[in-house]
Amino acid sequence: MNASKVTAGEMQKAFAIPSVDGPYTVISIPIPLVGPKDVLVKVEAAGLNPADWKTRGFLSYLGVAVTYPQFPGTDGAGIVVEIGSEVESGLKKGDRIAFQGQLRQERTSFQQYALVHGDLAVKIPSTMSLLEACTIPLALCTAAFGLSLPNPPIDLQLIHAVPEAFAKTFPEFGLRGGAGRKGFWEDDAENSAAGEPIVILGGSSSATHQFITTSSLKHVDYLKGLGATHVIDRHDSEEAIVSEIKNILNGTELLLVYDTVDSPHKQLHVDYLSPNGTFVNAMAIEETLELKDGRKAIATFGIVHSFKSLGLEMYKNLDKFLEHGIIKPTRIEKLSGGLEGIPDGLKRLEENKVSGLKLVVNPWETPMDS
C-alpha cells in the first residue's frame, strides 16, 4: 500500500473479534471515506487497555445490539493524511496527533487508517514519540472526567435496553458523572483545591494536592515523580490499605476517593470518607452500597465522545499542556508484530501481568501475509 497516496476503499489491515466466541484475528477492511468533519489518520501507534479485552461479550451483556466483527482499540496516534472540508481545528496534512478511538469499524485505533473527529484530535509536540502519545487519550479522559464531570450525574443515555439481572445490580448505569471539581484546563485550576487530600486506588497524578495512591511498590519512585505523596502497597489486604490511609490522613478531612481499578471492597473506602465526601468509580456503583452522612458515590465514564462539550474544552489547549510537560505520557512496552502482537498483550492484561506501563503496537509492523 502506498501510504503517501490514500484511496478510500483500498484495503488495510485491522484487528477484529470475528464472532462472539471467535479468536482474535487480523482481517482486511476498506480504508474509510473521510467525512466533512473528519480527518483520516495513518495510525502508527495504538495502546492496549483492559477495556479492549473486556469488549468481547460486554456490549451484548449490557443489552446493546452487537454485530460482528467487533473492532476494539481506543488509544491511537498517527499522521493526518486527509482532512474533511468542514474541519476548522487548524489541522494540516502531516500533523502528528493523538486521539481516542470509538468502537466502530472506521474509528478504532487497532487498524492502519482511522477516522477521527477533527475537533477531537490533539497535536503532539515534536519531543514526544507517537508510541508515547498513544498512551494519553483514554487514561487522561478517565482521570479528568472522573474529577470534573458534574456531580450530581447526568444521564448518559448509553444503554437503551438493560438486561433485568444487570439492572437490579446497577439500576442507574446510564447515570454518569464525576467529582465536580474544576477541570485542569480551567483558569486557576492548580490552586482550586490546594491542600485537599485525595485517595486514588490504582493510579497517581500531579498537582498541589496530597495524593495517596495504591500501587506495586516497585513503582514508588516513578509515581512520586508524577506527584504521588504516599504510595501504599496494592498487594496489602483491603483492611490494611484502609488502616494506612487513615494513619496518613491523621484526622484530616477527606472528601474524595477515586477508584480507578473497581475495587471489590468499595464499602470500606466509602466509610472512611468524611461526611459529604464523594466516592468516584470508573465502572459502576452497586445498589447495595450504603451511603451515610451526605456521602455520595458516582460512576464516571472516560469517553470523550460521550461528553463532547466538556471534551472540547479539555482538548482546546491540550497541546500546550503536552508541550510544557504538564500532561505526561506513561511508560511503554512496544510489542512486536504490529496488530498480530495484540492477542498476547490482551492476555497479559487479562491475567494482570502488566504493571506500571502501557503495551503499545505499530499497526504498520503487521506482517503483509496476515
240 vs 258: CA distance, rounded Å: 18
Q: Cell 491540550 appears where?
A: 318
339 vs 13: CA distance, rounded Å: 8
Helix, strand or coil, per DSSP, at residue 27? strand
Grid cell locating 214: 495504591
Q: What is the pLDDT of residue 321?
A: 94
- In the chain, DSSP finds a helix count (H) and a strand count (E) of 10, 17
Q: What is the pLDDT of residue 166?
A: 43
Please give the average pLDDT of every successive group of 10 residues along the chain, which has 370 residues: 71 93 93 97 97 74 70 97 95 98 94 97 97 96 89 53 45 68 84 77 52 85 82 88 88 91 87 94 84 91 85 93 93 98 96 92 93
Q: What is the pLDDT of residue 300?
A: 86
Contacts for 251 with CB less than 8 Å, ≥ 6 apart: none
Do 141-299 and 11-136+329-365 have the same topology in CATH? no
Q: What is the pLDDT of residue 59?
A: 59
151, 278 contact by CB (below 8 A): yes
Which architecture does CATH list for 141-299? 3-Layer(aba) Sandwich (3.40)
Q: What is the pLDDT of residue 57?
A: 63
79 vs 327: CA distance, rounded Å: 21
pTM of structure? 0.86
258, 199 contact by CB (below 8 A): yes
282, 146 contact by CB (below 8 A): yes
Q: What is the pLDDT of residue 206?
A: 32
Q: What is the pLDDT of residue 346?
A: 96
Residues 259-276 as b/e (b if ≥16 CB within 10 A, e otherwise) read: bbeebeebbebbeebbee
For the chain, domain boundaries: 11-136+329-365, 141-299
Q: What is the pLDDT of residue 207?
A: 36
Domain 11-136+329-365 has CATH 3.40.1480.10: no
Q: What is the pLDDT of residue 9?
A: 82
Closest CA to 241 of 264, 225, 218, 224: 264
For residue 82, the cross-strand partners are 40
65 vs 321: CA distance, rounded Å: 38
What DSSP state is assigned to residue 70?
B
Chain length of the chain: 370
